[in-house]
Structure 1
Amino acid sequence: MMKDTFHNPLLDPGADPWVYKDYDTYYLMVTRGTKLELWKSKTLSEIHKGECQTLWNAPAEGINCANIWAPEIHKVNGKWYIYFTANDGLGDDQTRKVFVLENPSADPFEDKWVEKGFVNTEYPGLDGTIFQHKGDLYFVYAGYGNFPEYGSALYIAKMENPWTLTGPNVLISKPEYEWEKQGGMAINEGPVMLQRNHKLFLVYSASTTWSDDYCLGMLTASDDTDVINPEAWYKTNQPVFKKSIENEVYAPGHNGFTKSPDGTEDWIVYHAISESNGGSQKRSMRIQKFTWNSDGTPNFGNPLATSTTIKVPSGE
């Protein structure tokens, strides 16, 4: 019998969680070392208990043999794509790239995944994501430019297909505030798009992932704007989701968004750490419902304690 409540975390460890809902099925990916794994489930609250399949294993050597991070699965024009970060294990940040796999099957658990190479970004980088806007496909990633004052910043570019960029890589956000510079590095990473209320909300992670103060920032643009124009984006000057000492939730970030099975609720998916200075190895996957402010912006609230009993998403 299906339970009507649950507790976080869902997956421990569970860094860099990503959930994609396709019709009545949820798909989940997290960082899993040297492989890409995919879960699928009819429910969100028990997605971590769903069927799991290993889709890809890193080669023993080469440009994508190490540091397999932050996989995301997307569906574009009826085909499935997975974007993930990797490098050669030798060059650190300067050899990081975003790689792409493609699967034409209706079910991503069927057929073979084909390697499409790496996205031709202008800068080395990580955490690639895509979104569609006005009929065009766009790519956003955390790039390492030649800027000594910060580690990574967010760049956007138009795509000519799901693995190829066309035109310039435009800087739309760099670490500016103190809350973006915690843990020893100034970081903007993990971008993800939330489209609603005639607006585009690009939510990203700020500071280092091992810092207690890892958090979420947000850029906002009107949906009738040219998203390649950096002037189109307004940056919120405070975090929109951050640690809760009272709830013993630290470093909440690297998120995604999804909906309840019946489509009436919005849910944020994220990782966090349950102890101060716990380190990145203790990141676990959590989910919680969020609401909307009267001005049409999202209200993520505070990260919930692991002792909090949460009602399952509507429609489960």
Structure 2
Amino acid sequence: MWTDSRNLGEVWAPEIVTDGGRYYIYFSAGRGTAHRMYAIHSASPASGYTAERQLALPDGKWAIDGSLFTFNGQRWFVWSGWAGDTNIEQNIYLSRMSDPLTPTGSRYVISQPRESWERVVGNPFINESPEAIRDPNGQLHIVYSANGSWSDQYCLADLRLRAGGDPTYVWDWYKSNGCLFGSNRSTMMAGWDPTLYVNGPGHHSFVLLNGDIATSPPAGPRFPLMYHGVPKGTAYSWANRHWYTGTFCWWGNTTYRRANVPGPTADTGFSIKFFE
């Protein structure tokens, strides 16, 4: 579909969605501090793609793992990036989009790796691989990967936007109180169990119709997802990662708690259960 003819280097994390009858693939490319988000698009899913176009994300900083979604009639772009020009920590950012290729306005931080369970492996500390999905109540979730992807502490966690909340206001987001899909019991949220067969599951993709979060499944049934991990009993390294299929389902009446921040200290709604 596309070749790195300009030698951008280190092409990571392609994400495909549709918008207005066209297929868009977003990916990060670059080396070292040069990673930025790019997009290609076509009327056909498997051919005819344009040359890559760099997205002019607000502030122009290092950016990876980006994806487009629409929520309440507004297009958004979500990605992982740096606040400045140094590799201290990776945060999750949102920006409005006026069309699938054009960011507009400011970038807004919605998550930073500040909880103890997402700082087990750092240098840098990491929130990355954000994926949007809408729950059966219509609330927006951003499920992301925490801890270093080079370790078996890599795991999935959840950000849930409170009912009626503003996606650009960080304190309207409530974070799960631990990993929801991981291989270490010590970092799992209470009531969630670690994996049996893989270590360090992370950077998932929800399998949604055309990548549209409005096609999120109803409560109860399980639906497919993809993720990568390392088979238990195998040395953990990027080279030993495999793609896996799994399933997920909505898990209701789940309270996320927080302290020492503005707004209510608890929010109850849907969370997610993941299965290998």
**So what's the TM-score if we normalise by structure 1?**
0.69
Contact 2:71–2:140 (CA<8 Å) still a contact in 1?
Answer: no
Cross-structure match for 2:214? none
The counterpart of 1:190, out of the listed 129, 151, 161, is 129
Q: 1:170 to 1:285 in 2, by over 3 A?
A: same
Per-residue deviation, 1:291: 2.3
Cross-structure match for 2:27? 84
Q: Does 1:210 align with 2:153?
A: no
What letter corresponds to residue 271 of structure 1 in structure 2? H
Percentage identity across paired residues of the two chains:
27
Q: Does 1:283 align with 2:226?
A: no
The counterpart of 2:46, out of the listed 96, 109, 114, is 109
| Partners of 1:270 and 1:159 in 2: CA distance | 27
Contact 2:234–2:240 (CA<8 Å) still a contact in 1?
Answer: no
| Partners of 1:175 and 1:128 in 2: CA distance | 18
Contact 1:116–1:163 (CA<8 Å) still a contact in 2?
Answer: no
What letter corresponds to residue 59 of structure 1 in structure 2? S
RMSD: 2.2
Contact 2:110–2:173 (CA<8 Å) still a contact in 1?
Answer: yes
What letter corresponds to residue 58 of structure 1 in structure 2? D
What letter corresponds to residue 172 of structure 2 in structure 1? A
Instruction: Report Cα offsets for 1:43-66 as digits up to 9, x if no partner.
Output: xxxxxxxxxxxx0111253xxx21
| Partners of 1:231 and 1:257 in 2: CA distance | 25
The counterpart of 1:134, out of the listed 55, 68, 72, is 72
Instruction: Report Cα offsets for 1:81-113 as digits up to 9, x if no partner.
Output: 0000100x3xx0x2110100011x2x3124x21
What does 1:9-24 correspond to in 2, within 5 Å? none
The counterpart of 1:234, out of the listed 164, 171, 174, is 174
| Partners of 1:141 and 1:299 in 2: CA distance | 21
Cross-structure match for 1:256? 205
**So what's the TM-score if we normalise by structure 2?**
0.79
Q: 1:108 to 1:156 in 2, by over 3 A?
A: same
Contact 1:217–1:240 (CA<8 Å) still a contact in 2?
Answer: yes
| Partners of 1:169 and 1:100 in 2: CA distance | 18
Q: Does 1:273 align with 2:230?
A: yes
Per-residue deviation, 1:293: 1.9
Cross-structure match for 1:70? 13
Q: 1:134 to 1:301 in 2, by over 3 A?
A: closer
Asked which structure has the greater RCO (Cα within 8 Å, sep 6+), the reply is 1
Q: 1:259 to 1:168 in 2, by over 3 A?
A: closer
Q: Secondary structure at the match of 1:187?
A: strand
Q: Structure 1 regions of 5+ residues with no counterpart? A: 1-54, 305-316
Contact 1:138–1:158 (CA<8 Å) still a contact in 2?
Answer: yes
Q: 1:174 to 1:277 in 2, by over 3 A?
A: farther
What letter corresponds to residue 38 of structure 2 in structure 1? F
Per-residue deviation, 1:283: 1.1
Q: 1:167 to 1:176 in 2, by over 3 A?
A: same
Contact 1:97–1:125 (CA<8 Å) still a contact in 2?
Answer: yes
Q: 1:160 to 1:213 in 2, by over 3 A?
A: same
Contact 1:273–1:283 (CA<8 Å) still a contact in 2?
Answer: yes
What letter corresponds to residue 46 of structure 2 in structure 1? F
| Partners of 1:276 and 1:297 in 2: CA distance | 34
Extract structure 1 runs of 4+ deviating beyond 4 A.
none
| Partners of 2:274 and 2:73 in 1: CA distance | 32
